[in-house]
Structure 1
Amino acid sequence: MRKIKFQPMPGLTIVLVICVTILISLGVWQYQRLQWKTALLAEVEASVSAPPLKGLDALSEAIRQEAPIDFRRIAFTGKPQNGGSIYHLYSSQTGGIYWDIIEPIKSEGRYILAKTSEVNAQQKTTAPNTVIAPDSLSAPQSYIGYIRKTYPMGRVESWVKPKANIESNRYFYFDQNKNWYETLPTPNFEGYYIDVVEKAQSAETLPVKRPEIANNHFDYMLTWWSFALIFVVIYLILHRRAGRLQFV
């Protein structure tokens, strides 16, 4: 019966252990990302496939039950909040500079921020507008769109994105300064807003909005682990050629 005679090279072995440990760790990280992304996609699919919500009370109940609601369709009736601040959020488009208008809407005794329309650079004012019409003169309006969940800005993103300017009403990320909800009375839907679709007829006929979310983590996982295997193979080949790995 043949035996294996192996004399490892100390320096190369240390390098191998370090590299393989790093590569396997990266593969494990991608496996964890794969699990998270798969669950996220399933949650989004459940949300966009669900029937539209009718009113903010229904939204509040869905949040209480922890149901998936990001990108879910919704229809409700409400009024712009009297005296509430309106924010201008930069929207990258071809053909000029545009700003999304974010304003607070009151419905069923609750308040929520809604992206209701957009203006070009010339129409944008330098300071936040306020709704000055009294409630008695402000007719209820129908709002139809998608529920969006807000996510905190990442550290790197906060470094590279342009800074908000309150005086000129310029924002480049939703609730960039984390103070928009402070202007709203309670109860409000902090952490959520409505992406209103102008001229939509009903929430039922509103197209399902599936975000494009890539899920390539399985390939990344295999790539890192393949590199680890290649390092081990090269390590063994070098020892074989140096006569340190023999079958006797």
Structure 2
Amino acid sequence: MKLHFKPMPWLTVSVAICLAILISLGTWQYQRLQWKTAYLADVDAAVSAPPLMSWAQLRSEIEQDKPVDFRRADIPAQAVIGAPAYFVYQPRKGGIYWRYFQQVTEEGRRFFAATESVPDADKTSFETPNQTAQMRLTGYVRKNEPMGFVESLVKSKASPAQNRYFKFDQTDAWGRDGAATDYYIDVVSVNGAASDLPVKRPEIRNNHLDYMLTWYSFAVILLIIYFILHYRAGRLKFS
């Protein structure tokens, strides 16, 4: 059996361009699948690990490339009196709230902790906690994810003069005095130790396998239609 194939120039060019786009989208979703699968495994390892008991221990875990985002923590610290503090918008039912981020220190190491949720009506009259005694930061470690290009376009702009921010370290200026800004502690109210905190496992969907198969399926369907059109036009024959 001999194959006779005479491709249509305009259709071939169009299909080649569409195939390149579809295959690129499928490959991108495959890469996203690999990243998301690894990320979810890291989250599961972090939330299942025992609580961190010091900022030094947290930094040690980071240096060893161990996952710490969403890990429970119970860290002793002191407020840094006079250091800048910030209000970050907090999505919440029942009105507008702001998360109060203050700078704290543990044995000379400065970092940030979210310690209060302040209603919008009380924001202007909120008194900065003057905590000089030792306090415990019981809550969850959170990683400061840098904004992507699209997020930077759609997210509300910060107003430093009004102390209004819509993301942790939104202006990349919070750590100018040496405070760490790659991670912070999200403090929560709990009666007891950090081991009594519920595991905080975020709901993150991983549908990239379905997306990948969809784009690759479109590529296969396009090829089938391409050859059917040539067959019906008499440009694809078997003899």
Scaled to the shorter chain, the TM-score interval is over 0.9
Q: Does 1:147 align with 2:147?
A: no
CA distance in 2, matches of 1:130, 1:182: 20
Asked if structure 2 preserves the Cα contact closer than 8 Å seen for 1:83 and 1:131, the reply is no
For structure 1, the residue ranges without an aligned partner over 5 or more in a row are: none
- Matched residue SS, 1:190: coil
Q: Which residue of 2 aligns with 1:104?
A: 103
CA distance in 2, matches of 1:5, 1:93: 66
Q: Tell me the C-alpha RMSD between the 2 structures.
A: 1.7
Q: State the Cα distance separating 1:54 from its structure 2 match.
A: 0.8
- Matched residue SS, 2:97: strand
Cα deviations by residue, 1:45-99 (Å, 9 ceiling, x for unpaired): 1111111111112112112212111111110111111111221111122221111
Q: Match of 2:168, as an amino acid?
A: F
CA distance in 2, matches of 1:142, 1:163: 32
Mapping for residues 54-203 of structure 1, pairs under 5 Å: 54-125=53-124, 138-183=132-177, 186=178, 188-203=179-194
Q: Match of 2:63, as an amino acid?
A: R
Q: State the Cα distance separating 1:215 from its structure 2 match.
A: 1.1
- Matched residue SS, 1:119: strand
Give 4+ residue runs of structure 1 displaced > 4 Å after superposition. 128-133
Q: State the Cα distance separating 1:189 from its structure 2 match.
A: 2.7
Q: State the Cα distance separating 1:131 from its structure 2 match.
A: 5.7
Q: Could you tell me the percent identity over the aligned residues? A: 51
Q: Does 1:220 align with 2:224?
A: no
CA distance in 2, matches of 1:55, 1:63: 13
Q: State the Cα distance separating 1:132 from its structure 2 match.
A: 5.3
CA distance in 2, matches of 1:171, 1:110: 24
Q: Match of 2:174, as an amino acid?
A: W
Q: State the Cα distance separating 1:200 from its structure 2 match.
A: 4.3
Q: Which residue of 1 aligns with 2:46?
A: 47
CA distance in 2, matches of 1:219, 1:213: 15
Asked if structure 1 preserves the Cα contact closer than 8 Å seen for 2:97 and 2:120, the reply is yes
Q: 1:242 aligns with which of 210, 233, 236?
A: 233
CA distance in 2, matches of 1:132, 1:25: 55
